[in-house]
């Protein structure tokens, strides 16, 4: 489905502006909202990093939520497969959910392969300027295959899974991400530290947010 086909189908809807604004919610939260979009190959450590960062932020008193690729496909996107078109629609829906979380003043973290630049850029385009933070969990394919926590690479190599990113479907690396985490070179704690430091530098974590 093209972007044009996804345009608002009804003209009888009017956006309602809430009296409780994002700014008021952020003041109550003592930190700003943000969309932390973690992309990378399967096995690069995206989900592990997202949940570890959430644990750190939660311990600091921050409002957070992780949107994980597999979990989302159990509900919101259970009707989608893994064709290029379905993957694009999957990420479009996630982007809209992240936008809602942003209005709630929440720091949302996503863990999606999101292999195509155009799809990641589309999500960036719907998020207010500066609130979308792309993190590239960079890890060599051979290391990801060695990890193969879910056994997916083995199945893909055997031809049991088609259109598997890195094997018979491409992964387009981010051109200019806000942060690169070399997950094969750094420990999990080191990766989390880098993310927290970046959030402080971008003033997502306000001084009033308790430190760990």
pLDDT tens for 41-72 read: 999 999 999 999 999 999 999 999 999 877 88
Q: How far is 61 from 84, CA to CA, in rounded Å?
A: 38
In a domain, 209, yes or no: no
Decide: 109 and 53 in contact? Cβ < 8 Å.
yes
Assigned domain for 152 exists = no
Grade residue 188 by pLDDT with cuts at 50, 70 and 90.
Answer: very high
Catalogue the active-site residues.
114
Task: Kindly tell me if the per-residue pLDDT of 208 is higher than 60.
Answer: no
pLDDT of residue 12: 65
To 10 degrees, the CA torsion angle through 1, 121, 162, 110?
-110
Does residue 1 fall inside a structural domain?
Answer: no
Token output for 57: 């932020």
Q: Which of 21, 44, 48, 26 is nearest to 192 (CA)?
A: 48
* Residue 180 falls inside a structural domain: yes
- The percentage of residues in the chain with a pLDDT greater than 70, rounded to a whole number, is 89
Q: What pLDDT sits at residue 5?
A: 46
pLDDT of residue 19: 85
- pLDDT tens column, 3-48: 544 555 666 666 667 788 989 999 989 999 999 999 999 999 999 9
Predicted confidence (pLDDT) at residue 211 exceeds the cutoff of 60: no
| CB-based contact 18:197 (threshold 8 Å) | no
Residue 160 lies in a domain: no
Q: What is the tally of structural domains in the chain? A: 1
For residue 55, the enclosing domain spans 23-139+170-201
Return the pLDDT at 82.
Answer: 83
For the chain, percent of residues with pLDDT exceeding 90: 71
Nearest-CA neighbor of 77 among 92, 62, 58? 92
At residue 71, the pLDDT reads 81
Q: Which pLDDT band holds residue 206 (cuts at 50, 70, 90)?
A: low
- Whether 44 maps to a domain, the answer reads yes
Task: Give every CB contact of residue 101 below 8 A, 6+ residues apart in sequence.
Answer: 33, 35, 65, 108
Q: Is residue 88 a part of any domain in this protein?
A: yes
Residue 180 is predicted with a pLDDT of 98
Let me know if residue 120 belongs to a domain: yes
CATH number at residue 117: 3.40.50.300
Q: Is residue 75 pLDDT above 90, yes or no?
A: no
Average model confidence (pLDDT) across the chain: 89
């Amino acid at each position: 489905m093209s972007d044009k086909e996804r345009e608002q189908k009804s003209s009888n809807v009017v956006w309602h502006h809430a009296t409780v604004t994002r700014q008021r919610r952020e003041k109550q939260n003592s930190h700003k909202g943000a969309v932390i979009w973690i992309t990378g190959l399967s096995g690069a450590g995206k989900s592990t990093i997202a949940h570890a960062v959430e644990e750190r932020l939660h311990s600091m008193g921050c409002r957070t939520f992780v949107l994980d690729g597999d979990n989302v496909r159990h509900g919101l996107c259970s009707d989608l497969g893994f064709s290029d078109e379905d993957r694009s629609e999957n990420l479009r829906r996630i982007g809209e959910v992240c936008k809602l979380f942003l209005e709630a003043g929440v720091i949302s973290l996503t863990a999606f392969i999101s292999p195509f630049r155009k799809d990641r850029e589309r999500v960036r385009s719907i998020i207010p300027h500066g609130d979308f933070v792309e993190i590239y969990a960079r890890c060599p394919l051979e290391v990801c295959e060695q990890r193969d926590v879910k056994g997916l690479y083995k199945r893909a190599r055997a031809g049991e899974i088609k259109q598997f990113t890195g094997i018979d479907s491409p992964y387009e690396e981010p051109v200019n991400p806000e942060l690169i985490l070399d997950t094969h070179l750094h420990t999990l704690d080191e990766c989390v530290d880098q993310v927290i430091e970046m959030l402080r530098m971008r003033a997502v974590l306000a001084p009033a947010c308790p430190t760990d």
